[in-house]
Each structure stands twice: as C-alpha cells, then as structure tokens.
C-alpha cells in the first residue's frame, strides 16, 4: 500500500536537502574538501546532466529518436569560444587565417555569449525541424545524425570565424563551481516545469500515440518542433559551459560518437525520467573516470596481467551499454521521478521486508522440532 | 577542364559509387527484413580490413588462402553480432533495438582500438589489383575498373537468389510481412541469419576493394563509409536492392563531380551525402525506387 507524507514534512525535507547541497557545493568550491580533479568531474557531470535531460526531452518525453545532440552542443561551445576569447590572444590563435574583423570587435560577456549560442541552436533546430521531424524513427535518427555532422563540417570549414580544424583555445575559464551547477539547476528546473505544463502533456501524448494525439487536437508539427528546439537551446547552453570548462574547443570533439555518451546516460537513467538522467550523468561520468584503472597496467604479486592496457576502459563502457540495453531495458528509474513519497515508501518496504525476514526465521525455528517429531514416528 | 580529366573523374566516381553500392546492399537487405538500421555494418567492414592485415602481414598467408579466410571470418562476425545484439531484442520496442545496434557498433570500434591501437595500419597490397593502367591521358588502378564489374556480377547473383530461389522467396515474404511469414512456416531466425551472412560477405568484398584503393585501416575507418552507404540505400529506396546500387552510384559520382567542378567545396565533401539525404527524405521519403507505403492506423 502506498503511503503519503504530509506536505509539511516534504517541504522540510526539501529545504534541508537544498541547504545541505549548497553547503557541500560551497565546501567543494572553497577547496575545503576534494581536489581539482574531483571538482572537474563534478562540473562535467553537471554539464552532462543538462545535455542528457534535454536529449531526454526529445527522445524520452516526445518519443522522437534524435541523434543530433552533438551538433547543438558544438554550436554553443563555439559561440562561447568565438565571443569570449580575449582580444589579445586572437591573433596568435588565428594564425593561418585571421578572424573576421567584425567579430574581433565583438567581445561579449560570458552569459550573453551563452544565450546567443543557445538562440542560434534553437532557431536552427526550429527551422530544420519542420522538414526533418515529419520522418519516422530510423529515418529521423539518421537525418538528425546527418544534420549534426553537417554542423560539424560547416564549423570545420568556416576558417575566419571558428579557426577551422585547429579550434580555439585560451577561452577564459569559469571561476566558481556555482556557475555550472547554478545554470544546470536553472536549465533542468525550466525543463521540469515545461514537462509538467500542458505542453509537456502534449509531448507525452505524442510519444504514446501520434495519431491519437493529433485527433485530440494537438498540433503535431508545432509540438515536435518546440520540443526539438528547446532541447537544442539547452544543449547549446551546456555546450557553452563545456567550452569554458575545457577552455579549448575544436570540431573533432563533436564527432557524432559524442552523442553516444548521452545516449548511454539516458538509457542508463531510464528513458523518460529527468531524475534518472541527472543521477546517471553523475554516475556515468564518475564511473568512466573510475574505469580508468582498467587502462593502467595491473600488477598482482609481480605478475603483470596482460589484459590491462589503454583502451580496455572504453571496451567495458560499451559492453555496459549493451548489457543495460539487453537486460535492464528500463534503466535505473524507468519513467519514474524522484519524490519524497517514493523514498518514504521505499524505506517502508525495506523495513517491512526486514521484519518479514525476522519473522520467517522465527517460524523456521519453531517448525523444525515439530517436523523432527513427525519423522521419529 | 579538358575531356580526359572529366573522364578520369567520372571513372573514379563510378568506381567509388559501386563500392558504396556493395556495402549499401548489406544495409538494404537487413533493413528490408528487420526494419532496423544495422549501425554496426560499417564496423564489420572495418573488422574485415583488420582480418586481412592479420592474415597476410602477421601470419604470412598467401592471398588465395587469406581472402577466403577473411570472407569466412567476416561472415562469422556478422552471425555472432546478429545472435548477441539483435536476436534477444526481436520483440522489444524499436528504440531499444536501435540503441543495441549503436552499442554494438561502439563496442566493435572500441574493441578494435583496444586490440589493434588507434594507429592506422597499412593494408597489404594485392599487386595485380593496384597495378596502374594508362589509356591515353587517363590512368587508373586495375581495382578502379574491377570494382564496378564485381558489383554488377554480385548484383545479378543476388537478384537471382532473391527472385528465383526458395530462400529468396522466404526473404521476400519476410520483408513483406514478418508475422505472416512466420505463420506460413518460414523460419524467420534462419532467414535473418542468411541476410546477415550475405550482408557481411558483401562488406568483406567491399573492404578488400576499398583497402586496395585506400590502403590504410584504423578503428574508425568504417564509420563514414558506413553512414554514406546507409544514405545510398535510403536514396535508392531502402529495402530495394537495385535501388541501393542506384543510390551508391549517384552518391559516388556526385562526390567525385563535386570535387572536380567546385574544388573550393572539397571540405564539404562529407556534408554532400548528408545534404542529399535530407533533401531526398523531404522530397521523396521512400527513396527513388522505393515502394509506396500507406500509413496504417
């Protein structure tokens, strides 16, 4: 039986959780706990969380199999790179072909560059969405993938703007961990609000049944487009953060295999669950770092185990993706979301099962002598 | 541009196009029956390249043994792939199967990187294929001429198989209606297995021809050809074997002529295929020779 907590307790729990996480983040930010490496992983996880939630918005909630995320991330990353690189470095970075003069004068603050990247990606997605989103599953996947590759190829060939294949480095880094985490909370919060609004319900209706949704008066093209464009917007914002985190971008980073990482994250977290995507972003990003032990030679008792060398990590990573798809199709959360009621019921169930086990033990203890008695006769 | 240069470009385009066609047939056959993009097809092509390198360079086998060995190994790989990545998900939702296909492709790439490192390896030279022939001002390798011939022979063989034999009939039945074919007593798993065998076989032959032309193999070598061949298959109408050949030729010729006529667009060469794909999907979603499908509600 499902039990519900009162609103008061839920609110208290939420406030405690928020204060606790801000406090932990503060400790990390002031370098009281953790090291630079851990901080970098955490930042990366927060950025990945934005991308995976926005990919989940299209793939999980609207039911469109899109593989174009890498392209939109690339737009955001390059927008931040192009607009925020300090003027004094521009000449040394663009040494093959100089940057277009009108761009050199356009130095923008980080947040503005971030928003411009988001808007470019969103508008582009909205425009391309009209023809592309009429397609069905496989065709849609390959068309979005193709579109993301086109973006990458265009970025590679626009030498005077993006510096071509060389990429741009010396992007000013982010100073505080509160920037990526804060933006992630805002972005994910906005997406959650969207999913729970009437638009979100329309998205879910489209996912469940295209034709039924249309006959209920939902404008299919508009809603699919909206979902696609909003997803592109947030992905590009995450891309901008990504550029500022790495301080260097080049088009090769955004090869379409980049999208596969987020595919793994949303499959692992559960297609159709925001909470799942967020948790999975942290688990997968940290897990990938943890798997690095497989890349280093392992020596047990003076004997070098021959399998452990560079590359094994990614083999295991892709094997995990296969195992999850083949055997745990629902992922971590299925399409459930985080709620205090859920946690409460989960704890309750554990408590009951512990009680049950104790009770079972006692019953076994009581019964055994009885059985033996019967056997004696 | 003088005539001989143009002829040279056209010959190169046709040769590249028939290579695309060979691999595209593998895509189109799997799609025809399973309604699934076999994302790992390009990686089977890549593994075939490594099999050849290992059997010839590392084990020193002569070509008349190495080539059949490569064909057998590649076909085996195709069967294993079908068994492990596709068969368990036969009744799963479409999205899961596609993710499994992507996972399989990603796995093969990472496995190749792990086993053979990411450094490109040189493909063994099959001397009679790489010999250069000159006709007047036009000169090309033997493989350039051989490729379209091989493709045509295999195409006709395949068409006979599909149209004239019992297996072919079962394949056509399965691609029309999967469930009904099963009810009629066709062993679906077996037919799908055969399809993968044929697809991998063609990928292996394609890899030998490709390797003689571009003699360098690295773990991601199958990716771009794989995607482009899928586009070729979609262009001609997916599920349609002559369509795949038509699509392959169009794509190969288009790329060669794009580079020939507008040299400044060379950087956009790879984008050409994708732009073609998006245009064809918008104008004629079932491809040039594709069947007309009505939506079932």
pLDDT digits 0-9 by tens, A169-197: 889 988 888 999 999 999 999 999 999 99
Q: What is the pLDDT of residue A291?
A: 81
Cα distance between residue A295 and residue A141, in whole Å = 32
Residue A295: pLDDT band (50, 70, 90) is confident
Residues of chain A above pLDDT 70, percent: 93
pLDDT tens column, B111-145: 998 888 888 988 888 877 778 888 877 888 888 88
Quote the ipTM score: 0.84
**Contact at 8 Å (CB) between A247 and A233?**
no
Cα distance between residue B292 and residue B297, in whole Å = 16
Q: Do A150 and B102 touch (CB under 8 A)?
A: no
Residue A377: pLDDT band (50, 70, 90) is very low
Q: Which residue of A has its CA nearest to B297?
A: A211
Q: What is the pLDDT of residue A121?
A: 96
* End-to-end alpha carbon distance in chain A: 45
> Which A residues in the span 258-277 are in contact with B, Cβ-Cβ below 8 Å?
260, 263, 267, 271
Q: What is the pLDDT of residue A61?
A: 92
Q: Do B107 and A147 touch (CB under 8 A)?
A: no
Instruction: Please choose, from the candidates A150, A110, A119, the residue with its C-alpha nearest in 3D space to the C-alpha of residue A241.
Output: A110
Over residues A130-148, mean pLDDT = 84
Q: Which of B39, B81, B115, B274 to mutate to test the interface with A (most CBs of A within 10 A)?
A: B274
Instruction: Please choose, from the candidates B199, B107, B226, B223, the residue with its C-alpha nearest in 3D space to the C-alpha of residue A325.
Output: B107
Tell me what percent of chain A is helix, strand and coil, each rounded to the nearest 5. 75, 5, 25
pLDDT tens column, A244-273: 999 999 898 898 888 988 988 888 888 889
**Contact at 8 Å (CB) between B278 and B38?**
no
Q: Which residues from A are below 8 Å from B84, CB to CB?
A: 322
Out of A146, A318, A321, whose CB is closest to B278?
A146
Cα distance between residue A248 and residue A242, in whole Å = 9
Cα distance between residue A76 and residue A119, in whole Å = 9
Asked whether the predicted pLDDT for residue B293 surpasses 60, the reply is no
CA atoms within 13 A on the CB side of A339: 13
Q: Do B103 and A142 touch (CB under 8 A)?
A: no
Q: What is the pLDDT of residue A105?
A: 82
Q: What is the pLDDT of residue B227?
A: 86
Please indicate whether residue A366 or residue B269 has the higher confidence score (pLDDT). B269
Q: What is the pLDDT of residue A184?
A: 94
Please indicate whether residue B48 or residue A105 has the higher confidence score (pLDDT). B48
Instruction: Please choose, from the candidates B184, B189, B191, the residue with its C-alpha nearest in 3D space to the C-alpha of residue B88.
Output: B189
Q: Which residues from A are below 8 Å from B85, CB to CB?
A: 322, 326
Cα distance between residue B97 and residue A113, in whole Å = 39
* End-to-end alpha carbon distance in chain B: 54
- Collapse the DSSP code of A211 into the 3-class scheme (helix H, G, I; strand E, B; otherwise coil) and give the result: helix
The rounded radius of gyration (Å) of the Cα atoms in chain A is 25
Q: Do A153 and B271 touch (CB under 8 A)?
A: yes
Q: Does B270 touch chain A (CB under 8 A)?
A: yes
CA distances from A194 to A127, A131, A266, A295, B42 (A): 21, 24, 18, 41, 39
Q: Do B110 and A271 touch (CB under 8 A)?
A: no
- Collapse the DSSP code of B281 into the 3-class scheme (helix H, G, I; strand E, B; otherwise coil) and give the result: helix
Backbone angles phi, psi at B191, to 5 degrees: -65, -40
User: How would DSSP label each residue in B68-79?
Assistant: HHHHHHHHHHHH
Q: Does B205 touch chain A (CB under 8 A)?
A: no
Q: What is the pLDDT of residue A51?
A: 95
- Collapse the DSSP code of B134 into the 3-class scheme (helix H, G, I; strand E, B; otherwise coil) and give the result: strand
Over residues A352-371, mean pLDDT = 71
Cα distance between residue B69 and residue B58, in whole Å = 14
Q: Which residues from B are below 8 Å from A318, CB to CB?
A: 103, 106-107, 109-111
Place of tokens 């996972």: B103
DSSP state of A367: H
Q: Do B103 and A321 touch (CB under 8 A)?
A: yes
Q: Do A318 and B106 touch (CB under 8 A)?
A: yes
Q: What is the pLDDT of residue B118?
A: 81
Alpha-helical runs (H) found in B165-187? 166-176, 178-183
Q: What is the pLDDT of residue A375?
A: 47
Place of tokens 């761009």: A103
Q: Does B100 touch chain A (CB under 8 A)?
A: yes
């Amino acid at each position: 039986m499902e039990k519900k907590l009162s609103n008061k307790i839920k609110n208290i729990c939420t406030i405690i959780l928020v204060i606790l996480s801000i406090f932990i983040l503060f400790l990390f930010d002031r370098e009281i706990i953790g090291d630079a490496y851990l901080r970098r992983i955490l930042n990366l996880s927060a950025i990945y969380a934005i991308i995976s939630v926005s990919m989940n918005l299209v793939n999980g909630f609207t039911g469109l199999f899109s593989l174009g995320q890498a392209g939109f991330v690339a737009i955001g990353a390059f927008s931040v790179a192009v607009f925020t690189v300090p003027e004094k470095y521009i000449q040394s970075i663009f040494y093959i072909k100089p940057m277009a003069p009108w761009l050199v004068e356009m130095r923008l603050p980080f947040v503005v560059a971030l928003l411009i990247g988001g808007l470019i990606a969103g508008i582009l997605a909205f425009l391309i969405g009209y023809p592309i989103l009429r397609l069905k599953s496989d065709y849609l996947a390959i068309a979005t993938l193709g579109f993301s590759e086109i973006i990458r190829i265009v970025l590679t060939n626009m030498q005077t703007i993006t510096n071509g294949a060389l990429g741009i480095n010396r992007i000013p880094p982010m100073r505080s961990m509160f920037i990526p985490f804060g933006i992630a909370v805002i972005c994910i919060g906005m997406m959650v609000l969207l999913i729970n609004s009437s638009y979100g319900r329309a998205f879910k209706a489209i996912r469940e049944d295209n034709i039924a949704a249309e006959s209920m008066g939902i404008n299919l093209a508009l809603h699919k487009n909206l979902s696609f464009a909003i997803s592109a917007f947030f992905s590009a914002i995450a891309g901008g953060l990504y550029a500022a985190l790495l301080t260097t971008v080049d088009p090769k980073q955004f090869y379409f295999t980049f999208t596969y990482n987020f595919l793994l994250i949303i499959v692992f977290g559960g297609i159709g669950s925001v909470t799942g995507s967020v948790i999975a972003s942290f688990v997968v990003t940290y897990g990938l770092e943890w798997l690095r032990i497989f890349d280093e030679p392992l020596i047990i008792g003076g004997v070098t185990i021959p399998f452990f060398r560079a590359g094994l990590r990614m083999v295991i990573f892709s094997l995990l993706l296969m195992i999850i798809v083949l055997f745990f199709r629902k992922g971590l959360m299925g399409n459930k979301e985080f709620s205090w009621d859920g946690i409460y019921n989960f704890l309750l169930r554990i408590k009951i099962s512990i009680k049950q086990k104790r009770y079972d033990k006692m019953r076994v203890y009581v019964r055994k002598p009885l059985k033996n008695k019967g056997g004696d006769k | 541009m003088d005539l001989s240069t143009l002829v040279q470009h056209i010959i190169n385009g046709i040769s590249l196009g028939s290579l695309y066609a060979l691999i595209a047939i593998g895509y189109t056959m799997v799609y025809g029956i399973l309604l699934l993009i076999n994302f790992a097809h390009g990686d089977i092509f890549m593994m075939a390249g490594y099999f050849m390198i290992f059997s010839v360079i590392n084990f020193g086998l002569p070509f008349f043994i190495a080539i059949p060995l490569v064909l057998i190994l590649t076909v085996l790989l195709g069967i294993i792939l079908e068994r492990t990545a596709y068969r368990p998900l036969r009744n799963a939702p479409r999205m899961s199967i596609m993710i499994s296909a992507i996972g399989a492709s990603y796995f093969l790439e990472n496995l190749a990187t792990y086993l053979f490192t990411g450094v490109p390896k040189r493909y063994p030279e099959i001397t009679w294929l790489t010999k250069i022939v000159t006709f007047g001002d036009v000169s090309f390798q033997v493989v350039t001429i051989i490729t379209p011939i091989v493709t045509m022979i295999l195409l006709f063989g395949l068409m006979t198989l599909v149209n004239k034999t019992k297996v072919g009939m079962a394949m056509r039945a399965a691609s029309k209606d999967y469930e009904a074919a099963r009810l009629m007593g066709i062993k679906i798993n077996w037919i799908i297995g055969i399809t993968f065998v044929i697809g991998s076989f063609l990928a292996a032959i394609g890899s030998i021809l490709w390797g003689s032309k571009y003699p360098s193999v690295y773990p991601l070598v199958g990716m771009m050809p794989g995607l482009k061949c899928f586009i070729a298959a979609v262009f001609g109408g997916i599920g349609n074997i002559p369509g795949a050949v038509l699509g392959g030729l169009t794509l190969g010729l288009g790329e060669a002529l794009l580079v020939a006529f507008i040299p400044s667009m060379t950087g956009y060469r790879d984008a050409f295929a994708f732009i073609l794909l998006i245009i064809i999907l918008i104008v004629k979603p079932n491809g040039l020779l594709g069947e007309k499908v009505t939506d079932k509600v």
